[in-house]
Chain A
């Protein structure tokens, strides 16, 4: 089937590619169907594309790749709707944003996906993981001009 992304244009997907987020994302309760797209240029990067809002595309990465010692602390209640068997079969992704010239990762509210059931949820972690964890400062500007 074909879906449309404002950012990437028309994209061919299989129905089995669709991830269901029954509560949407925080503040986007209507966005319940998503697909995860690999970035064609940067292997560390993927994109969550909303099927409900073609203009909503979010960059995501695996937090372990960028955050030394990354660990989530959650209430059991936060994970319960995903029907996971422990955390195996779970994929954790964090949303990338930009603040004051630096790329930041939202460690406070990661996306947790049950790959087997194609179910996902944006969970809110306990403790004081930051909403904006800085990953790239000036180094990235140098790289872009290379």
Chain B
């Protein structure tokens, strides 16, 4: 990992078109400003990784399991009888 020290209002440029600026430092919290093209996603790492894991988990769902959705919609309450 490349480690650089920056003070408030200073910036780092990544490639040609991604700029990270220290907007504010307060206690142990740093506010970062990120300028990047909209097609480059920028997210908190833990959010990104949680979604990645959830996508992987979803990939393991079997059709028979997914098809049981038919019994449950927002608009209806239905009693399931028999079985």
- A interface, CB within 8 angstroms of B: 7, 22-23, 25-28, 39, 41-45, 55-59, 61, 64-68, 77, 80-81, 95-99, 103, 106, 108-109, 122, 124, 131-132, 135-136, 139-146
Q: Which residue of B38, B41, B58 is within 8 Å of A58 (Cβ)? A: B58
What range describes how many residues of B lie at the interface?
Answer: 35 or more
- Residues from chain A with a CB closer than 8 A to the CB of B49 are 27
**What residues on A are CB-neighbors of B66 within 8 Å?**
39, 42, 45, 59, 96, 103
Which residue of A has the minimal Cβ distance to B48? Answer: A26
Complexed CA–CA distance, A41 and B50 (Å): 31
Shortest beta-carbon distance from A31 to chain B in Å: 10
Contact of B56 among A23, A27, A42, A61 (CB under 8 A): A27
**Given A26-B48, A45-B69, A68-B74: A139 touches B80 (CB 8 Å cut-off):** yes
- Contact at B59–A57, with CB atoms within 8 Å? yes
Contacts of A42 in B (CB 8 A): 66-67, 69-70
- Most A CB contacts (10 A, CB to CB) among B50, B53, B65 go to B65
Query: With A106-B58, A108-B51 known to touch, is A66 a contact of B83 (CB < 8 Å)?
Result: no
B10: interface (CB < 8 Å)? no
Listed residue (B39, B55, B83) with the most chain A CB atoms within 10 angstroms of its CB: B55
**4 cross-chain pairs, A with B, having the tightest CB-CB distances, nearest first:** A27-B52, A140-B68, A80-B38, A97-B58
Q: How many Å from the CB of B33 to the closest CB on chain A?
A: 13
Whole-angstrom distance between the alpha carbons of A108 and B50 in the complex?
A: 10
Listed A/B pairs (17) with beta-carbon separation below 8 Å:
A25-B55, A26-B52, A41-B67, A42-B66, A59-B58, A65-B74, A66-B73, A68-B74, A95-B58, A97-B54, A106-B58, A139-B71, A140-B68, A140-B69, A140-B72, A141-B68, A143-B80
Residues of A within 8 A of B82 (CB): 146
B64: A residues at CB distance < 8 A: 144
| Shortest distance from the beta carbon of B48 to any chain A beta carbon, whole Å | 6
Q: Complex formed: what's the CA distance from A105 to B74 in Å?
A: 13
